[in-house]
Structure 1
Amino acid sequence: MCRYGLKSKDLLERQGYQVDDRHLTSRDEVDVFKAKHDVKTTPQTFIGETRIGGFDDLSAHLGKVTKSKDATTYKPVIALFAVALLMAIAVTWVALGTAFTGRTVEWFISISMVLLGLQKLQDVERFATMFLNYDLLAQRWVRYGYVYSFVETGAGLLMMAGVLTWLSAPAALIVASIGAISVFKAVYIDKRELKCACVGGDSKVPLGFVSLTENLMMIGITVWMLSKL
């Protein structure tokens, strides 16, 4: 089965078209089809006798917005923070029998740190390379880009558990402070347009307000937790 053929069929049916789905069942049939219609890829969509093209062409023909693979988007970080918030509320409910307390905020930020760290740990090499674009310490000590993911994840886990705060909070405070300064310099002083490595090395999230807010949240919660020691 062709995944783009299935997507094209689904799109047409959702637009009210009756679809005559003609399968090419062998390599020879595919080659003959390509030669006949002078195309390089399949599937191909026809509306009446007019060839529309592949899935992207069909989407454009039907007025559907198709984004470039390199287009920037905030969706990954919005989804991550939304899930982190829901997880924090769920943990609060299980642990304390209520939906929201001050501890919920701590759990939200610490869970966010773990999820963000997990994104980076999926491909530490790519993250470290992207991180070099703007992080001031990584530009002076390249190995910091490799260490960062583990520090962020480990600190988040300890903060979630509420243990070894004397270790986790200072560690998070240091990396968050460096991160905030680096982002502020790159975006607001140097006026550079970069992708943020915050959700991993293949991120399309633009470096800017969201990245700065992430670091400021970490700074705020670590200062708060240190003040309670």
Structure 2
Amino acid sequence: MPKSLAKTATLYRMVMPEHTCPYGLKARALLKHKGYAVDDHWLRTRAETDAFKAEHGVKTTPQTFIDGERIGGYDDLRRHFGLKVRDPKTVTYTPVLAVFAVTALMGLALSYASFGSALTMRAGEWFISLSMMALAMLKLQNVESFSTMFLNYDLLARRWIPYGKIYPFAELGAGALMTAGALTWLSAPVALFIGGIGAVSVVKAVYIDKRELKCACVGGDSNVPLGFLSLTENLMMIAMAVWMLAMTFG
């Protein structure tokens, strides 16, 4: 395309010694990806940024202009191009699915490293125990937030408040022992106990009481809906506990 006919966009973004706006970088990259030549204006100081906002009556930067029309910030630019904009309030199963996908790969990798084959019974065991550890890690990032969300539906936590803070440590410990194949007499009953209470709690809240709640399974700040995948976490713990008890004492 001749230079005179090239599409041009004007972008105003913060580029300061102590801060470069990440959304400004993303807006510039998106414009270039869409074939625009970018007239890139840097707002180098807080005073310049405040003056720009006041002049154009906007509250945030970056701001993009195309053909003299103000498009807006990065999300507005995505909408302008017909691209999806994530709503932070939208419920999603993605966090849980991401955990399960990664721990499944970890289980397969460990199995291959240990036995020369990815598809072994131990790979399945590791998948479940590593999932327990990964989910516990997410809960432990903010135990207070997790325990508060947990109170919305867990039957034991609602009767005995400290259980909400004990739960992630119990899940982590049981998962670690199951991964190591050690102290099954301890890890299996713990997993059976917390998994059993969790499963009953989810069934009651979702399938009996028909409540629409968020699951605390990946921490207290998630938008994962309480439902099938939440129940799956607990059923996996129960199955793992029963399996290990059968293998050890059967």
2:121: which partner in 1? Answer: 102
What letter corresponds to residue 132 of structure 1 in structure 2? L
**Aligned structure 1 segments of 4 or more residues deviating by more than 3 angstroms:** none
Higher strand share: 2
Deviations 1:119-139 (A, max 9, x none): 011111000000000000000
CA distance in 2, matches of 1:64, 1:209: 30
1:160: which partner in 2? Answer: 179
What letter corresponds to residue 129 of structure 1 in structure 2? T
Q: Which of 201, 212, 222 is the aligned partner of 1:203? A: 222
Instruction: Give the aligned CA root-mean-square deviation in angstroms.
Output: 1.0
Higher helix share: 1
1:19: which partner in 2? Answer: 38
Q: Which of 109, 127, 148 is the aligned partner of 2:146? A: 127
What letter corresponds to residue 105 of structure 1 in structure 2? G
2:77: which partner in 1? Answer: 58
The answer for unaligned runs of 5 or more in structure 2 is 1-19
Percentage identity across aligned positions?
Answer: 62
What letter corresponds to residue 226 of structure 2 in structure 1? L
CA distance in 2, matches of 1:116, 1:192: 23
- Report how far residue 7 of structure 1 moved: 1.1
Instruction: Give SS of 1:22's match.
Output: strand
Q: Which of 116, 135, 142 is the aligned partner of 1:116? A: 135
- Report how far residue 29 of structure 1 moved: 2.1
1:194: which partner in 2? Answer: 213
1:213: which partner in 2? Answer: 232
Once the two structures are overlaid, the 10-residue window that deviates more, 24-33 or 170-179, is 24-33
**TM-score normalized by the length of structure 2:** 0.89
User: Highest CA radius of gyration, 1 or 2?
Assistant: 2
CA distance in 2, matches of 1:152, 1:35: 52
What letter corresponds to residue 39 of structure 1 in structure 2? V
What letter corresponds to residue 140 of structure 1 in structure 2? R
Q: Which of 170, 174, 188 is the aligned partner of 2:193? A: 174
1:31 aligns to 2:50 (yes or no): yes
Once the two structures are overlaid, the 10-residue window that deviates more, 34-43 or 184-193, is 34-43
What letter corresponds to residue 216 of structure 1 in structure 2? L
